[in-house]
């Protein structure tokens, strides 16, 4: 039997690189998925790539409670419930010195990366209780355990969701709801192209090489590398794992 046979997953940031890779892995293992993002055409493309017969999509703003409740209800209406929630939506903000970071940018990053996760996790509890439990996976980052003077709002947000995860894990335990974070190092996605441009706009290849050199395995992760960890945490193979920070960082945090 497939590892996620009969399961339903909701994936925010579902039109991005990690979201699509996770959706594909989940579907390969028997799940049906609801993809959530802001860009409808990107969602249509992602759903077609994943398989429109086993996926649906919802255009929603994760920082809105009304939108959050709506996409959860859509998953219940279309697929019958929710077993897996991948809180993956996130934005990077600007690459800018700490003292130059604006209040507006800080608020925007925190709204998506922290408030969006809080609303999603809190609202998912009720849906998962109806199914007898579930697995919630939050995308944090290696930036969730390290600092960066050029990415303070982003780093702050990724530290924050680890605290949120641990609190939710304690609250969810009695309901058989497990909550964990996955913390990637740089991944070959749009977000890293944006960060590379912010670091070295005159030479993106040099920025890529510089970042790769900081990773002991010598390369960025591929989205499927992160998706494989998420699949494990979504599956029944990890039924005793909750409240954990799972590094998918090519050895970066070992330094």
pLDDT one-digit tens code per residue, 134-151 = 999 999 999 999 999 999
Q: Which of 57, 154, 220, 246 is catalytic?
A: 154
Residue-level pLDDT at 112: 98
Count other C-beta atoms under 10 Å from residue 173's C-beta: 14
For 189-200, the pLDDT digits (tens) are 888 888 888 888
Q: Which helix (H) or strand (E) holds 104?
A: helix 103-110
Question: Given pLDDT bands bounded at 50, 70 and 90, which one contains residue 66?
Answer: very high
Closest CA to 135 of 242, 24, 244, 248: 242
Strand partners, 136: 85, 179
* Three-state secondary-structure class, residue 60: coil
Q: Please give the share of the chain, as a percent, with pLDDT higher than 90.
A: 93
Q: In the β-sheet with 177-184, what is the strand arrangement from edge to edge? A: 55-59, 32-37, 8-12, 84-87, 134-139, 177-184, 245-248
Residue-level pLDDT at 202: 87
Residue-level pLDDT at 195: 83
Average pLDDT score over residue span 178-189: 96
Residue 117 has pLDDT above 80, yes or no: yes
Residue-level pLDDT at 212: 95
Instruction: Specify whether 154 is catalytic.
Output: yes
Domain ranges for the chain: 8-184+223-241, 188-220
Residue 218 has pLDDT above 90, yes or no: yes
Superfamily, domain 8-184+223-241: NAD(P)-binding Rossmann-like Domain (3.40.50.720)
> 53 vs 192, which has greater pLDDT?
53
Residue 204 has pLDDT above 90, yes or no: no
> 255 vs 38, which has greater pLDDT?
38
Mean pLDDT of the chain: 96
Residue-level pLDDT at 93: 93
Residue-level pLDDT at 191: 86
Range from 29-33, 77-81, 179-183, 198-202 carrying the lowest mean pLDDT: 198-202
């Amino acid at each position: 039997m497939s590892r996620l046979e009969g399961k339903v997953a909701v994936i925010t940031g579902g039109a991005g690189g990690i979201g699509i890779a996770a959706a594909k892995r989940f579907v390969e293992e028997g799940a049906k998925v609801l993809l959530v993002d802001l860009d409808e055409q990107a969602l249509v493309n992602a759903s077609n790539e994943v398989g429109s017969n086993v996926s649906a999509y919802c255009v929603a703003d994760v920082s809105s409670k009304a939108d959050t409740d709506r996409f959860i209800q859509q998953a219940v209406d279309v697929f019958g419930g929710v077993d897996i929630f991948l809180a993956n939506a996130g934005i990077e903000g600007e690459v800018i010195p700490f003292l130059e970071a604006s209040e507006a940018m800080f608020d925007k990053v925190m709204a998506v990366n922290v408030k969006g996760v809080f609303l999603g996790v809190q609202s998912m509890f009720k849906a998962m209780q109806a199914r007898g439990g579930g697995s919630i996976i939050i995308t944090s980052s290696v930036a969730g355990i390290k600092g960066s003077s050029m990415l303070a709002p982003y780093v702050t947000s990724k530290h924050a969701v680890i605290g949120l995860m641990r609190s939710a894990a304690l609250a969810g335990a009695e309901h058989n709801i497990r909550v964990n974070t996955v913390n990637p190092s740089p991944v070959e996605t749009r977000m890293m192209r944006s960060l590379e441009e912010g670091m070295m706009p005159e030479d993106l290849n040099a920025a890529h090489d510089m970042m790769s050199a900081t990773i002991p395995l010598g390369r960025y992760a591929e989205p499927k590398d992160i998706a494989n960890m998420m699949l494990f945490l979504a599956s029944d193979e990890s039924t005793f794992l909750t409240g954990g920070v799972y590094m998918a960082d090519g050895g970066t945090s070992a330094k």
